[in-house]
Amino acid sequence: MIGQTAAKPLLGLAVLAILAMSFSCQMPAQAVGDESQHQRDQRMEWWREAKFGMFIHWGLYAVPAGQWEGKEIGGIGEWIMNKAQIPVSEYEALAARFNPVKFDAEQWVRLAKNAGMKYIVITSKHHDGFSLWDSKVSRYDIVDATPFKRDVLKELSRACAKYGIRLCFYHSIMDWHHPDAQGPHWPTYNTKKKENPNFGRYVENYLKPQIKELLTGYGDIGVLWFDGQWVPEWNEDYGDDMYAFVRGLKPDIIINNRVGKKRESGDFGTPEQRIPAKGLGGVDWETCMTMNDTWGFKKNDHNWKSTEDLVRKLVDIASKGGNFLLNVGPTAEGTIPGPSVERLKAMGRWLKVNGESIYDTTANPLGELAWGRCTARPGKLYLHVFDRPEDGRLELPGVKGKIKKVCFLADRKRQLVFSQEGDDKVVISLPGQGYDEIDTVLVLEIQENKK
Ligand code: JFZ
């Protein structure tokens, strides 16, 4: 079995490291809890403005790509070790076959940037326990265990810095490879342990040291996106401690809610594969979603969402005050599937024209709209017309303040006739042609009520 570095020497080092940290960068835990609303708003600002990010699920699971021993394995591709009940020794042999010679970090980052994405969240370690960077506490990583021998997270870090994209990491608490992390709930089918007294050792000697490697060696990490917190061994104390540990290493980092088991854990909620009907009121949140039906690459999953659907999902999420983390699952060769690339380029073209109506906007202040969605900035409403009303009359409920002008965002010279009876009823007359079949954005400028 490809091992983790022996825990014992680490234990001594860990004690020293913890002592050292307490006098250096680590913020005392109570300072984290004392963060003011203003400080928190400052920390969240870039993420709230960003609205749109790329999720990347990449690892050994791209090699089988949804098949095992000649059979199609159901479910999401990155869970194949679990779904096909693959013993650790057989699964880790995939490392010798993982040689993504077509991987090009700058190509991936340019794809994200040109799609209008502002951050990338990549799986540094998924549930299978394989590390996508050159870890010093494990040999089960892309440098030590594969013929590729390159630290892809280091290369991505450089590319993100070059193109102005925030690099973020998804990191799984659940680990199907580390012997101290196994439990009866997620047996790797060759360890029938009923319960694991060493989970604490896994957390202190492996999980936290790896996270420290990622937060101190790969540039300015924007978000730590935890997952796999549902294992019974993980509890609220672990979650609180991990939150403080991470913020102590990087005080301005953002951490998702899957660091813990409380509703209010972390800094933002993470609805998965769904858009909450009315958003998640009063909290920061981000919908994560696949473009087909799997996060990790599966060669036979061709159930791609349309570009229109993806753009309208982004608009819907932004109109409810959330972020959209849209996934790509690269192949074992290191390429992003063609249908993903095609959709991302098309989303980028739409955002190039209409990005002002998404980035740095706030949620719809008007209530439900039959013909589309609405996003806002101070003094402006962006009306996203999905379906032009047959009669050409676009009705708006409850616009507060006097409307100065209505025009097409794509061509501000194209002004529209409108009527406003008091605050309640606004009717905009829509011309018969010149629409974007995905989403036509109108800008409504409002006289701001003097404070
Ligand atoms: C998790 C992972 O298991 C999955 O592989 C992927 O990385 C996704 C983004 O996150 O999936 C989940 C997590 C939690 C639930 C369901 C799927 N849940 O709580 O129902």
d(CA 186, CA 198) in angstroms, rounded, equals: 15
Q: Which of 89, 130, 52 is nearest to 326 (CA)?
A: 52
What spacing in Å lies between the alpha carbon of 106 and ligand 1's midpoint?
28
Q: What angle do CA 307, 313, 314 make, to 5 degrees?
A: 95
pLDDT at 209 over 70: yes
Q: Which of 67, 60, 59 is nearest to 84 (CA)?
A: 67
Whether residue 128 has its Cβ less than 6 Å from ligand 1: no
- Domain ranges (residues) in the chain: 26-357, 372-446
Q: Which of 173, 370, 183 is nearest to 260 (CA)?
A: 173
The CATH number of the domain covering residues in 372-446? 2.60.40.1180
Q: Quote the pLDDT of residue 404.
A: 94
- Among the residue ranges 49-63, 297-311, 368-382, 389-403, the one predicted with the least confidence is 389-403
Nearest CA to ligand 1 atom 6: 295
State the pLDDT confidence band at 2, using cuts at 50, 70 and 90.
Answer: confident
Question: Rounded to the nearest 5°, which phi and psi values hold at 259?
Answer: -70, -25
Residues 120 and 56 sit within 8 Å (Cβ to Cβ)? yes
Whether residue 76 has its Cβ less than 6 Å from ligand 1: yes
Report pLDDT digits (tens) over 151-202.
999 999 999 999 999 999 999 999 999 989 977 666 665 566 666 789 999 9
- State which ligand 1 atom lies nearest to the alpha carbon of 174: 3
Residues 166 and 50 sit within 8 Å (Cβ to Cβ)? yes
- Among the residue ranges 5-9, 61-65, 358-362, the one predicted with the least confidence is 5-9
Residues 115 and 164 sit within 8 Å (Cβ to Cβ)? no
Q: Quote the pLDDT of residue 68.
A: 98
- State which ligand 1 atom lies nearest to the alpha carbon of 126: 7
Residues 338 and 299 sit within 8 Å (Cβ to Cβ)? no
Residues 177 and 207 sit within 8 Å (Cβ to Cβ)? no
Whether residue 272 has its Cβ less than 6 Å from ligand 1: yes
Q: Between 3.40.50.300, 3.20.20.80, 3.50.50.60, 2.40.110.10, what CATH number should domain 26-357 receive?
A: 3.20.20.80
The structure tokens 């309208």 sit at: 312
